[in-house]
Amino acid sequence: MGITKYLKQSWQNPDEKVMRERMTAWRAGDAVVKIEKPSRLDRARSLGYKAKKGVIVARVKVVRGGHKRMRPKKGRRTKRMHIRKNLTLNYKEIAEMRASKKFRNLMVLNSYNIGKDGKYYFSEVILIDPAKPEIKSDKQLSKFALSPKGRAFRGLTSAGKKARGMRNSRIKSPKVFPSLRSNKRQGN
**Predicted pLDDT of residue 29:** 94
Percentage of the chain with pLDDT > 90? 51
Q: Taking 70 as the threshold, does the pLDDT of residue 171 lie above it?
A: no
Range of the domain at 125: 3-186
CA–CA gap between residue 116 and residue 106 (Å, rounded) = 26
Residue range 15-34: mean pLDDT, rounded: 94
Handedness of CA 2, 135, 57, 150 (dihedral sign): negative
**Predicted pLDDT of residue 123:** 96
Number of domains in the chain: 1
**Predicted pLDDT of residue 32:** 97
pLDDT tens-digit readout, 122-163: 999 999 999 999 999 999 999 888 888 888 998 889 988 887
pLDDT tens-digit readout, 43-86: 999 999 999 999 999 999 999 887 777 777 887 877 877 777 77
CA–CA gap between residue 49 and residue 163 (Å, rounded) = 23
Write the CATH number for 66: 3.40.1120.10
Written as one string, the DSSP assignment of 36-54 is SS-SSHHHHHHTT--SSTT
pLDDT tens-digit readout, 79-106: 877 777 777 788 999 999 999 999 999 9
Residue 109 dihedral angles phi and psi, to the nearest 5°: -95, -55
Q: How many CB atoms lie within 10 A of CB 117?
A: 15
Q: Taking 70 as the threshold, does the pLDDT of residue 180 lie above it?
A: no
pLDDT band of residue 22 (cuts 50, 70, 90) is very high
Residue 60 dihedral angles phi and psi, to the nearest 5°: -125, 135
Q: Which residue has the higher pLDDT, 171 or 80?
A: 80
